[in-house]
Chains A and B, each alone.
Chain A
Amino acid sequence: MTVARVRVLVVDDEPAMCRAIERVLVKDNYEVRSVNTGEAAVELLEREQFEILLADLRMPGMDGLTLVERVLALDPSLVAVVLTGYPALDTAVEAVKRGAYNYIPKPFTPNELRSVVQRACEHRKLQVEARELREARAEERARLLAVLESMHDGVVVVDQETRVVLYNQAATTLLAPGAAPGQPLDAVVRDPVLTRLAGAALAGRALAGGEEIRLEGRTYLAMASSVRDHERSWGAVLNARDVTPLYHLARLRANLVAAVSHELRSPLAAIEGYLDVILDRPDVDADCRRMLERCRTRARGLQRTIVSLLDISRLDDRRRERALIETGPALAAEVEAWRGAAERAGVKLEFFLSPGLPHVLANEADFSCLVGNLVDNAIKYNRPDGRVEVKVWPEPGYVVMVVEDTGMGIASEDLPHIFEEFYRVRNQDTALIDGSGLGLALVRKVAETYRCRLEVDSQPGLGTTFTVRWPVPG
């Protein structure tokens, strides 16, 4: 391996001095060139690369001071050392001020020369390394900024005090015009939800799923996470994605489901109505009556399916109102609403309420949808003289609601699927039970919406227990 030798340019109007220096340095393995005028040195430096310049200060034509200035302008990384041939310390100091690294007063010994040139070499090495590091850092930062700028998502970074650290081009739509780093986030955001998200992330509470915000007719999904560096958090990063097309699509779907459902309901109500009238007549023979009754049952089932479909599309709307619900009375009312159905099915419906229940935060219709579907199933898939127990009690952070039945139970191979839309357990026991296949899908959807924990435990032939842990606010 050959190591590139350090190249030294010697400039002195005395050829003897040049040769003397050359002899010393070549022996130390430097590559040395020498010229006798400043003009010749500049010309050579314009063509060739040198690391170190040794320049006599007093020369005819271009003097050493001017030469140092000229060559440092050509190549700032060149290390210049001046040789002072007579006691002109002022000029040497001036040369250092203008960028020369050091000076050697003449006469000097070979060792003095070696020592200065060696130090000049080290100086040069350090300088190069520092510059390379600086350049690498600047390049890395520029790359990161370029990546940030090219993102479609708006990104805003804040520090521990929720002050803006930086933001990208896409984030300008989220901030007030002219928002600058250092300003408090709440003073520059156009939607306070962003400040809330950032606050939650800084407090270590990441809000899964993010929040929707609407600005100037566009919809953004905003999320925040804390920025960690060696396990220490120094801020939070907010990102907001423009989900307007997705949002429109979801709205379209919900509207379509609603429109189709309404269109289906009226003809179905008519069918049911005609059947009611026919079945109210005494002159319908027994066979026909049985078949028509079956028709009516199926029509009613279809009505319920449509209502469930409407409920499901309603749950997709994130803007629905939520209120604090008194858990005990709300649950009692919902259970009471099913008492008639339980009696008709010959099932005993019991309700056990613990004192000291906290409120839950929910849309009332969602709460009753979840409870109602569980109770409805517990009655429907029960046995005559069976029992349904609804129990509720508080647990730290949760209200626990349990719906337990003494019904046919669910086979283990069906259990993983029962919360899927339109999944129905098909067997001899369920053949005559009208179900939409949407009840438990709705239960799951409500549970997901409110981050409830939903568990099911079932023993075929003995019964099924659904447990819902509904989170309590605060």
Chain B
Amino acid sequence: MHKGRILIIDDDSDFVEINRMALEAAGYQISAAYNGREGLGKIQAEKPDLILLDVMMTTVTEGLDLAYELREKEEYRGIPIFLITSMTSAPEFPQSFTYVLGRDWPVTKYFDKPVKPAQIVAAVGEVLAK
């Protein structure tokens, strides 16, 4: 029996693997997508309990585009999203996401790369335990 389904969307395969191993070791079921389109497909198919989303993938707006799609469908509303930023992404990204998803989106957390897998595991545990 797993503790929850988590979708990691990031074009950085190392980030995906590291967090997959850490989260699996903590008892979660993990699936991964390496771009926004693939990510949306998996969200539709797998209905994850939580999403780890890199804001900047191959194209700068790929993460943001996905956020627009999520907002459109009532069934996705409320999936906790952890946004992963890095020093190469624009500093206004968090605000853009808050704007797109709306302030009332239940859980949005921001992590700046490099982020320790243990930190992610702890934060996931906190959110999904509720």
Whether A273 and B25, one on each chain, are in contact in the complex, defined by CB atoms closer than 8 angstroms, is no
Interface residues on A, range: 10 to 19
Chain B binder among A70-78, A241-249, A274-282, A373-381: A274-282
The reply to whether the CB of A187 lies closer than 8 angstroms to some CB of chain B is: no
Would you give the 0/1 interface string for A283-314, flagging 1 where the beta carbon is closer than 8 Å to chain B? 00000000000000000000100000000000
A272 to B119, CA, bound (A): 14
Residues in A whose Cβ lies below 8 Å from that of B15 = 270, 273
Whether B88 and A277, one on each chain, are in contact in the complex, defined by CB atoms closer than 8 angstroms, is no
Select one of B12, B18, B19, B117 contacting A266, CB under 8 A: B12
A303 to B25, CA, bound (A): 26
Whether B117 and A270, one on each chain, are in contact in the complex, defined by CB atoms closer than 8 angstroms, is no
The reply to whether the CB of B72 lies closer than 8 angstroms to some CB of chain A is: no
The reply to whether the CB of B91 lies closer than 8 angstroms to some CB of chain A is: no
Whether A276 and B18, one on each chain, are in contact in the complex, defined by CB atoms closer than 8 angstroms, is yes
B34 CB to closest chain A CB (Å) equals 15
A269 to B17, CA, bound (A): 12
Whether A273 and B118, one on each chain, are in contact in the complex, defined by CB atoms closer than 8 angstroms, is no
Q: Which chain A residue lies CB-closest to B14?
A: A270
The reply to whether the CB of B22 lies closer than 8 angstroms to some CB of chain A is: yes
A265 to B22, CA, bound (A): 21
Whether B88 and A273, one on each chain, are in contact in the complex, defined by CB atoms closer than 8 angstroms, is no
A297 CB to closest chain B CB (Å) equals 14
Interface residues of B in 73-93 (CB under 8 A from A): 88
Whether A276 and B116, one on each chain, are in contact in the complex, defined by CB atoms closer than 8 angstroms, is yes
Whether B113 and A276, one on each chain, are in contact in the complex, defined by CB atoms closer than 8 angstroms, is no
Main secondary structure on A side of the interface with B = helix
Select one of B19, B25, B114 contacting A269, CB under 8 A: B114
Residues in B whose Cβ lies below 8 Å from that of A270 = 12, 14-15, 18
Whether B14 and A274, one on each chain, are in contact in the complex, defined by CB atoms closer than 8 angstroms, is yes
A265 to B25, CA, bound (A): 26
A302 CB to closest chain B CB (Å) equals 12
B11 CB to closest chain A CB (Å) equals 11
Select one of B19, B88, B114, B118 contacting A262, CB under 8 A: B88
A303 to B116, CA, bound (A): 14
Interface residues of B in 11-42 (CB under 8 A from A): 12, 14-15, 17-19, 21-22, 25
B125 CB to closest chain A CB (Å) equals 13
A269 to B116, CA, bound (A): 9
Whether B22 and A277, one on each chain, are in contact in the complex, defined by CB atoms closer than 8 angstroms, is yes
Count chain A CB atoms within 10 A of each CB in B15, B19, B113, B114 and give the residue with the most: B114
A272 to B12, CA, bound (A): 14
Whether B114 and A272, one on each chain, are in contact in the complex, defined by CB atoms closer than 8 angstroms, is yes
Whether A280 and B18, one on each chain, are in contact in the complex, defined by CB atoms closer than 8 angstroms, is no
Residues in A whose Cβ lies below 8 Å from that of B25 = 277, 280-281
Would you give the 0/1 interface string for B47-69, flagging 1 where the beta carbon is closer than 8 Å to chain A? 00000000000000000000000
Whether B117 and A280, one on each chain, are in contact in the complex, defined by CB atoms closer than 8 angstroms, is yes
Count chain B CB atoms within 10 A of each CB in A272, A276, A281 and give the residue with the most: A276
A262 to B19, CA, bound (A): 21
Count chain B CB atoms within 10 A of each CB in A272, A276, A277, A280 and give the residue with the most: A277
Q: Which chain A residue lies CB-closest to B116?
A: A276
A308 CB to closest chain B CB (Å) equals 15
A259 CB to closest chain B CB (Å) equals 11
A370 CB to closest chain B CB (Å) equals 21
A20 CB to closest chain B CB (Å) equals 108
Whether A276 and B118, one on each chain, are in contact in the complex, defined by CB atoms closer than 8 angstroms, is yes
Task: With A262-B88, A269-B113, A269-B114 as known contacts, state yes or no: A276 contacts B22, CB within 8 Å.
Answer: yes
Residues in B whose Cβ lies below 8 Å from that of A267 = 14
Select one of B12, B17, B88, B117 contacting A276, CB under 8 A: B117
Give residues in A with beta carbon < 8 Å to B. 262, 265-267, 269-270, 272-274, 276-277, 280-281, 303
Give residues in B with beta carbon < 8 Å to A. 12, 14-15, 17-19, 21-22, 25, 88, 113-114, 116-118
Q: List 19 A-B contacts (CB under 8 A).
A: A266-B12, A266-B14, A267-B14, A269-B14, A269-B113, A269-B114, A270-B18, A273-B15, A273-B18, A273-B114, A274-B17, A274-B18, A276-B18, A276-B117, A277-B22, A280-B25, A280-B118, A281-B25, A303-B114
